[in-house]
Structure 1
């Protein structure tokens, strides 16, 4: 699984932080990490510390927040995905199809009016 940031992905000032290039087994590992670290233990999840995720040009840290804000950053290198507990529980539901079978489709992991989306894509072709 790889992680990267694509700025101004569509010419409209929208950006994407992307988790991509993974198989069903890695999707299951990622979902389990979210469940265990954020939902069960209520701790932050720093993807730079996850051995099966290779960061290319950024890092992503997941954490609980009092409101669903989505991805925020100050420097376009370190990104924070801040959601409520229910926001992360919804994210687990969105990950489910990738854990049930190999897939070539993709999924945005939240629906928030925010300039940066979080894309989950087994292949690298969804946004290039």
Structure 2
């Protein structure tokens, strides 16, 4: 699994933090990390600490908050996905199809009106 950032991908100042290039087994591992660390333990999940995710150029940290804020950053290298408990439970629902079978589909992992989206895309390649 790879992590990257695409700035102003559509000319409308909209950005994407993207998790891509993974299989069903890695999707299951990622889903289980969200479930165990963020939802159950209510701890931050720092992807730079996860062996199967390449965070060489960027990092993504998931954390609980009282409101759904989506992706935030100050330096465009380290990103924070800040959602409520319900926001992360919805993310698990959106991840479920990737954990059943390998698929070429992709999915945005939250639906918020923010400048940066979080895209889950198993068969995407680096840009």
Q: Number of residues paired by the alignment?
A: 127
Question: Are the aligned partners of 1:4 and 1:56 in contact in 2 as well (CA < 8 Å)?
Answer: no
Stretches of structure 1 that go unaligned for 5 or more consecutive residues are: none
Query: Which residue of structure 2 aligns with residue 25 of structure 1?
Result: 25
Query: Which residue of structure 2 aligns with residue 109 of structure 1?
Result: 109
Describe the superposition over 1:16-48 as per-residue Cα deviations: whole angstroms up to 9, x where unpaired: 000000000000000000000000000000000
Alignment of 1:1-128 (within 5 A): 1-124=1-124, 128=127
Instruction: Give me the TM-score of the superposition, normalised by structure 2.
Output: 0.97
Output the CA distance in 2 between the equivalents of 1:90 and 1:67: 14
Moved over 4 A (4+): none
Stretches of structure 2 that go unaligned for 5 or more consecutive residues are: none
Describe the superposition over 1:38-80 as per-residue Cα deviations: whole angstroms up to 9, x where unpaired: 0000000000000000014210000000000000001101100
CA RMSD of aligned residues (A): 1.1
